[in-house]
Amino acid sequence: MKTSQYRIAADSKVVLPHLPSGDTDGFNGNKTDALRRIEEQSARLFDLQQLLYADNSRKVLVVLQGMDTSGKDGTIKHVFKMVNPLGVKVANFKRPNDVELEHDYLWRVHHNVPRSGEITIFNRSHYEDVLVVRVHDLVPKHTWERRFAHIRNFESMLADEGTVILKFFLHISREEQGKRLQERLDNPAKHWKFEHGDIEERRYWDQYTTAYQDAISRTSTSDAPWYVIPADKKWYRNLLISTVLVETLESLNLSYPAPKTDLADIVIES
């Protein structure tokens, strides 16, 4: 499984309908094998996250974006289930409150970026300010258009300051979204997840597709790449994202800090 094929090169023109949402890259194992590999990756991610925390020189920002039901919550639940919560936090970006609206749109985002040694997961993100505001015409075109440059510069600054940025677009088909919404209606245990607004937003599928295409095309850089993750198969989505995370953390050449004093002669008395 090559994760690089899902990474969007800088200055690429993305056409989402041309990218398969149900791809499994010819994965030779069955779902059971994939789940076993996810468990292995989760254990490895635990070790690497501990190392990141101890090394304390780098930060990791994971951005999750996607259509409703694409699996942002599920990704967090399954991919990060074994990490130490002391070094991982999740930031959810919903409709801005009155205080946030009094500031620039990146103010609330900057408050939530990771500290040294941390992994921070954005469940939705600053990209809502070039997506939902565009689709629903909440701000003029010239306003959201110039935000692409703001976002590139913001992410470049974070990268220059030691933040590793991984952005995942969970690419789900309209048909699969319909199945998942219907499942929420059919299963009483999932009624709490259903919102009538999901039906309304589904009517804007084509507009969101165009907005996401532009956002990904214009903000995937070498410092902050986008990965378009096939998300129709939940197990493959989780396997792919966990693999990208493990590969990235392994590439950072992190190390445990040396003790401040010589420990060789220290004996703990019984």
Calpha distance 249→17 (Å, rounded)? 31
Instruction: Provide Rg for the chain, Cα atoms.
Output: 20
| pLDDT, tens digit, 9 for 90 and up, residues 169-225 | 999 999 999 999 999 999 888 888 888 888 889 999 999 999 999 999 999 999 999
pLDDT at residue 179, rounded to an integer: 95
pTM surpassing 0.85? Answer: yes
Instruction: Render each residue's pLDDT in the chain as its tens digit; 270 residues.
Output: 789 999 999 989 999 999 999 998 877 657 888 889 899 999 999 999 999 999 999 999 999 999 999 999 999 999 999 998 889 999 999 888 999 999 999 999 999 999 999 999 999 999 999 999 999 999 999 999 999 999 999 999 999 999 999 999 999 999 999 999 999 999 888 888 888 888 889 999 999 999 999 999 999 999 999 999 999 999 999 999 999 999 999 999 999 988 777 777 788 888
**Helices 234-250, 72-79: crossing angle, 10 deg rounding:** 60
pLDDT at residue 30, rounded to an integer: 73
Contacts of 43 (CB under 8 A, 6+ apart): 82
Measured in Å, how far apart are the chain's first and last C-alpha atoms? 51
In order of 73, 172, 179, 190, 214, the CA distances from 195 in angstroms are 15, 18, 15, 11, 27
pLDDT at residue 29, rounded to an integer: 59
Calpha distance 176→43 (Å, rounded)? 30
Closest CA to 123 of 66, 173, 165: 66
pLDDT at residue 28, rounded to an integer: 63
pLDDT at residue 193, rounded to an integer: 84
Token reading at 94:
């919903």
Please list the residues that pair with 171 across neighbouring strands. Answer: 230
Domains of the chain by residue range: 3-250
Please list the residues that pair with 91 across neighbouring strands. Answer: 122
- For domain 3-250, the CATH class is alpha beta
